[in-house]
Structure 1
Amino acid sequence: MYMNAEITILLYVGLIIVLLMIIRLLGRKFLKPVKYRKLKESVSAYLYLLPSFVVLGLFVFWPIIYSFYLSFFKWDFQNQDNPIFIGFENYIKLFKLDKPISISFNSAFFNTLLLVMSFIFFMHLIFDYKKIEKRYQKNLVIIMSCLGIIALFLANSVNYLSIVISIIQLIIYTFLIVSDFVTQKSNKTFLKLLLFVAFYAFFYWFGVPEIISFLLLAKQQSLFIKAIWNTTYYVLLSTPITIFLALIVALLLNQKVRGKAFFRTIYFIPFVTSVVAVSLVWQWLFNDNGLINYFLIQLGFSKVSWLKDQAYTIPTVAIISIWKMVGYYSIIFLSGLQNIDQSYYEAAEVDGASPFQKFRFITLPLLSPTTFFIIIVAMIGAFKVFDEIFILYVGMPGPYNNSGMTLVYYIYDKFYNQQRMGEASAAAYVLFGITLVFTFFQMRASKKKIYYDS
C-alpha cells in the first residue's frame, strides 16, 4: 500500500521536474529577457525546494490525507486487506454512550447557550449601556437580558423554553454585532471573567443542566469523551502555569545578575533531556516512599498517593510537563524581552513610572507577539500529551479507571493494541478539529491585543 503511494508520488515528482524544465526552455524562446530571468529564478527555487516537498509528501502530507480517507472505513485486523466503507460510523461510534444518562445533549447544549448569551447581554447592560447609541439597540439588550434570566430560572421545568430563547438571543446578538452597536469595547475583561464564574456558579447551584454536567456524566459512559475531558483538563491546568512561570524565569534571567549563561543552561536542560529519563526520575520522586512524600512527612503532612489515586493522575502529569517546558519557553520569552528597545524604559523613568507600570504598559504589550506564539505552541503541544503518561504508569492510562486516558493515548490504544485503524484515524481527526478550534479562538481573541514594535 505504502509502496504504491511512494511510486505514485515519485512519478508525480518526475512529472513536475519535466514540466518545470519545459517551462524554462519555452520561457527562453518566447519571453523577454527580464521576464525570463524572473521565470528562471522561480523555476530554480522550486527545483531546490522539490526534495523537501518530496520528503514532506512521503512522510507528512500523504499519511495525513490517507488517514482521513481511512477514517471513513472499517479497517481493522480482520479487514486489513479490504477495508469496508462505513461513512461516518467511526465518528459516531467515538461519541456513543455505553448507557443512557439523565441529561440529554440537546438540553445541556441549549441551556449552556442560554447561560452564555444571557450573560453576554447582561454584561452589555452593565458595562456598555451608555455607549450604545441607538434606542432600539438599548431596548433589545434590556429585553434579551431579562428574558434570558427568566428563562434560566424556568430551564428545569420547561426544556423547550431554553431552545427557543437561546436561539432568539443568538439571532438578535448576531444582528447587533453586524450593526456595530458597541463602538468602544470595555476594558474590564478580568472583572467580566469573575462575574461569569459567579453567574455560572449560581445557576449551576440552582440546578440548570448544562454542558459541564452532561460531560461529567457522559465521560463515565464513553471512553473517548473521557479522553477529551482529561486532555482538556490537562491543557487548561498545565498551559497557563507553564507560561506564567516561564515569564517569571525570563524576567529574572533578564536582570543584571552573575552567571546568567549558567542559569539559562540549567533551566533549558530539562527540555533537551529524554522524556523517558525525565518520566522515570519523576516516577521515583512520586513513589509512596519517594523524595516528595519524604519531604511532606518531614513538614508534618501525610503521604500522598501520587501514582495510585486517580484524582492526582492529570495533576501529576502536568507537574512533569511544567517542569520540563518552563525552561524552553523562558528562553523564548527572554529573546523577546531583549528585543524591546531600552529607550521606552528610559522615557518611562523620566516620566516617573514605577517598575510595575513599566511592566504593564511597556513589557507586556511589546512582549505580546512572543506571548501569542508561546500560547499557541504550548497549547498544541499540551493536546499531544502521551509520553509522560505511558512511562509514568508503565504503559497504562493511569492507575485505574482510565484516569490518565488522553486523546493521543486513545489513538495509540485503538491503533496499536486493538488494531482498529479506522477508529484511530477518526479519533485523530477529532483531535485535529479540537486543536484547530482552540487555536482559532485563541488567534481571534489575541488578534487585537498584539503590538508590534515598529
Structure 2
Amino acid sequence: MARAHIKPSRVRESLLAYLFLLPALVVLSIFTFWPIGFSFVLSFFKWDFRNMKNPYFYGLGNYKEILKFDYPVKFPFYKGLIYSVLYILLSVLFLLVIFAIVEMLGKKKLDWKKVIFVAAYLILLVLYGTSMAHLNMGRLLVFLVASAGLLTWGWRGKIVSSKLLSDHAWLGFVIWLVTYVLFEFRFTAGFNGQSYGIVDFLIDASEKNLFFKALVNTTYYVILTVPIGLSLALLIALLLNSIEKFKAFFRTVFFIPFVTSVVAVSLIWKWIFNDDVGLLNYILVSMGLQPVKWLKDAKWTIPTVSIVSIWRHVGYNAMIFLAGLQNIDTFYYEAAEVDGANSLQKFFKITWPLLSPTTFFLLIVSVIGAFKVFQEVFTLYDGLPGPYGNSGMTMVYYVFDLFYRQQRMGIASAAAYLLFLVILVFTFIQYRVGDKVVEYVS
C-alpha cells in the first residue's frame, strides 16, 4: 500500500524535473547533439567541393585516406606496438625490482621470493640484450610473454607491498617513466641503424603523413605545456596562499591573461618573439646569449606556442589550485608542527596528497584543452601552420584546413572523430591512473 502511494508522487517529481530540464535539453539537442551526430554520419560520406550537391556513401574511405602514407614506413605499426609493450613491461618490472630491493634494505632481511624475482628479471634483461642482433618476431613474442608472466607473478605474489607502492605512487611513476624512455630511446636503436618502438614509428610516420605530423606535433605540445604549466600554477598558488596583503590584487593580475582575447594575447607575444625588435631576444642579447628565431625556425614552433599557452592559462590553474589549498583544514598542519615536521615534509605528506583531487581535475582539463590548440598557432603565424614544413600543424588546425580551405567536409569530420578518439584514450588512461593515486577526504 505504501508503494502505491509513493510511486505516483515519484513519477510526478520525475516529470516535473524533466519539464524543468526540457529547455536545456532542446538547446543542447539543436546546437550540440545534432551537430555531433550529423558530423559522425558525415564522416562516412564523400562530401567535398566536387560532390557538394550529391555526397555519396564512402564507408571507411575517409579514414583510410587520412591514414594513407605518401611513402612506405620503415616498419609496420604492429611491430612498433609490440616493442613498446615489451618496453612498458620491462620498465614496470624494473620499478618493482627497485621497490623490492628498497623494501629488503629497509627491513635488513633477505626475502628469497624477492631475490628470485630480481634474479629472474636480470636474467631476462641479459637474454634480451644478447638476442637483439637476431631478434625476430617469434623471439620478440617469447620475451613479451616471459615479461608478462614475470610481472603477473610479481604482482599477484605481492613482491612489493601495496602500501609502499601507494605511499610512493608519484615517485614510482617518475621511475617508470624515466626507465621507459631509456628503453624506448636506448634499446630501440637496433643493429644496421634500424630503430623500433611506437615512438620511432610515429616520428617516421610524421614525415610521410600529414595526420601523423599533426598528431606528433600536438602530443609534443601537450607533453611540453601541461606539466610545466601545472607546476608553475602550483608554485604561484603556494606563494599566493602564503601572503596576507595584496592577495586580491595578485590574483587579479595572474587571472587577467586568461580572460583576455586569445588574438590580442597572441599579437602581443608576436611582437615579443620578433627577431629584430622583440623583447625576448633583447633580454637574451643583454645576457650575452645568442638571439633565437622564435617565429622563423621550425624547431622553435611548438615551444613558442607552448610559452604563449602557459602564460595565458597559468593564472586560471593557479586560482583552482589556490581554492584547493584553502579547502585543506589547518588542523593537519597544526598536528604536523606538533610532530616537528618541516615545510618540505608538510608539502609532500599533507599538501600534495590532499591536493590530488584538484590536480587530477586540472590535469584532465589541461590535457583536453591542449589537444585542441589552434588559435595561438593561427595568430602567431598569420594563418599558416608554422614557418615551414608544417612545424605548427596541430590536430585542430588539420581539421580546420580540411574543412575550410580544402572544402572536404567528409574527411574533415573523420579527422575530428580521430581526434576525439585520441582524447578519449588519454582521458581513459588518466582516469584509471587517477583512481589509484587520488586521495579524497570526506
TM-score between both structures, scaled by the size of structure 2: 0.88
Q: 1:150 aligns with which of 121, 127, 143?
A: 127
Cα deviations by residue, 1:45-64 (Å, 9 ceiling, x for unpaired): 10010111111111111111
Looking at structure 2, the residues matched to 138 and 72 of structure 1 have their Cα atoms a distance apart, in angstroms, of: 56
Q: 2:187 aligns with which of 197, 203, 210?
A: 203
Looking at structure 1, the residues matched to 161 and 35 of structure 2 have their Cα atoms a distance apart, in angstroms, of: 47
What is the number of residues matched between the two proteins?
424
| Matching residue of 2:366 | 378
Looking at structure 1, the residues matched to 52 and 117 of structure 2 have their Cα atoms a distance apart, in angstroms, of: 59
| Matching residue of 1:238 | 225
Looking at structure 1, the residues matched to 249 and 219 of structure 2 have their Cα atoms a distance apart, in angstroms, of: 35
Verify the 8 A CA contact 1:314 1:404 in the aligned structure 2: yes
Query: Gaps (5+ residues) in structure 2?
Result: 105-110
Indicate the SS of the match to 1:287: coil
| Matching residue of 1:124 | 96
Query: Gaps (5+ residues) in structure 1?
Result: 1-30
| Matching residue of 1:340 | 328
Verify the 8 A CA contact 2:100 2:114 in the aligned structure 1: no
Identical aligned residues as a percent = 49
Q: Which moved more, 1:244-253 or 1:178-187?
A: 178-187
| Matching residue of 1:164 | 141
Verify: 1:59 aligned to 2:31, yes or no. Answer: yes
Cα deviations by residue, 1:154-191 (Å, 9 ceiling, x for unpaired): 34543313542255247536854885655623335133
Indicate the SS of the match to 2:294: coil
CA separation of 1:141/1:403 partners in 2, compared to 1, >3 Å: closer, same or farther?
A: same
How much has 1:152 moved relative to structure 2?
Answer: 4.9
Looking at structure 2, the residues matched to 442 and 277 of structure 1 have their Cα atoms a distance apart, in angstroms, of: 33
1:238-317 to 2 correspondence within 5 Å?
238-288=225-275, 289-317=277-305
Indicate the SS of the match to 1:303: coil
CA RMSD of aligned residues (A): 2.7
Amino acid at match of 1:37: S
Looking at structure 1, the residues matched to 154 and 42 of structure 2 have their Cα atoms a distance apart, in angstroms, of: 41
Verify the 8 A CA contact 1:108 1:210 in the aligned structure 2: yes
Verify the 8 A CA contact 1:114 1:162 in the aligned structure 2: no
Amino acid at match of 1:59: F
Cα deviations by residue, 1:187-230 (Å, 9 ceiling, x for unpaired): 35133443444444431455552222222221111010000000
- Of structures 1 and 2, the one with the larger relative CO (CA 8 A, separation 6+) is 2
Cα deviations by residue, 1:416-451 (Å, 9 ceiling, x for unpaired): 111111111111111111111111111111212222
Q: Which moved more, 1:150-159 or 1:303-312?
A: 150-159
Cα deviations by residue, 1:381-428 (Å, 9 ceiling, x for unpaired): 000000000011011000000000000000000111111111111111
Looking at structure 2, the residues matched to 440 and 38 of structure 1 have their Cα atoms a distance apart, in angstroms, of: 35
Amino acid at match of 2:310: I
Verify the 8 A CA contact 2:255 2:316 in the aligned structure 1: yes
Cα deviations by residue, 1:314-358 (Å, 9 ceiling, x for unpaired): 000000000000000100111111111111111111111101111
TM-score between both structures, scaled by the size of structure 1: 0.86
Looking at structure 2, the residues matched to 72 and 149 of structure 1 have their Cα atoms a distance apart, in angstroms, of: 49
Q: 2:178 aligns with which of 194, 208, 233?
A: 194
How much has 1:146 moved relative to structure 2?
Answer: 3.3
Verify the 8 A CA contact 2:386 2:392 in the aligned structure 1: yes
Verify the 8 A CA contact 1:411 1:427 in the aligned structure 2: yes
Amino acid at match of 1:228: L
| Matching residue of 2:108 | none
Indicate the SS of the match to 1:429: helix
Verify the 8 A CA contact 1:271 1:327 in the aligned structure 2: yes
Looking at structure 2, the residues matched to 123 and 337 of structure 1 have their Cα atoms a distance apart, in angstroms, of: 31
Looking at structure 2, the residues matched to 92 and 364 of structure 1 have their Cα atoms a distance apart, in angstroms, of: 45
| Matching residue of 1:44 | 16
How much has 1:78 moved relative to structure 2?
Answer: 1.8
Q: Which moved more, 1:380-389 or 1:176-185?
A: 176-185
CA separation of 1:216/1:422 partners in 2, compared to 1, >3 Å: closer, same or farther?
A: same
